[in-house]
Structure 1
Amino acid sequence: MTKNTRIVLSSDHAAIELRQSIAEHVAKLGWDVVDIGPTTPESTHYPKHGEAAARRVASGDCALGIILCGTGQGIMMAANKIKGIRCGVCSDSFSARMIRQHNDANMLSIGARVVGEGLALDIVDAFLSAEFEGGRHAERVELIRSLEH
């Protein structure tokens, strides 16, 4: 069985430019990027974009997801409503690494009005390079999963 290297990216209108930079960066890392976000600056609703990306991850179509809005908070809240999604908003590389290692996060949210492009790419790198550690964290992740039922 081959590893799923598909990653979905989406955003609202506030984060188009940063999302496109991240998409280019992630593609250079070897990921098959599925960018489903808007391309024009007209106002759009972040819950729809968070949901759409989360459904791609929850279905297994994409292994991971990266979503963005102005703060990263609203789109993250929408994504986390989808069963099977564990998404965290991160403004630093340490948190991005920890949500993968300790929480088995399958989505990352970033605030385009909170961090600049350089830091955003560092956050993405930390998220993508980390792996779930299992062990004592596995029971805790299972407790999170049990909340969905």
Structure 2
Amino acid sequence: MLKKKYTLPNGVRVIEEKIPYVRSVAIGIWVKTGSRFESPDTNGMAHFIEHMAFKGTKNRSARDIAETFDAIGGHVNAFTSKEYTCFYARVLDEHVDVALDVLHDMFFHSTFDEGEMEKEKQVVIEEIRMVEDTPDDWIHDLASKASIPRHPLGTRYSAR
């Protein structure tokens, strides 16, 4: 397996690993922004922005984003943790250009429609509440809060 690391002229770091017998590609945009970097007033914002990236761009509707990946048999998703937010896709190697184009569009051209923002606030709040129904996530949140109560890493928030 050949691994390469390089930095693009705009500062974006790229890590590439080629596995010659695999035809699928996994692509991720990892952003160093998660709940660790949020204040009590902005807690949950990284998770909310992650959700909003799927609600449409200047070039694509939410439906267009989903249908593009469906048409090529790919998968697109995202997650937010305490340290990072990641937007990622998995596609066949022949569709890597399409996946990169859509991820780029979502990341740089999301529209943040006010109506969608109101709906998505409720979705994010419900996801946060769901942590209480997942004991292994919940216990980590409780341990973090007990260990470092006045730090963002100790905030009772776990985005998935």
What is the TM-score normalised by the length of structure 1?
A: 0.36
User: Higher strand fraction: Structure 1 or Structure 2?
Assistant: 2
Higher relative contact order (CA closer than 8 Å, sequence separation 6+): 2
Larger Rg: 2
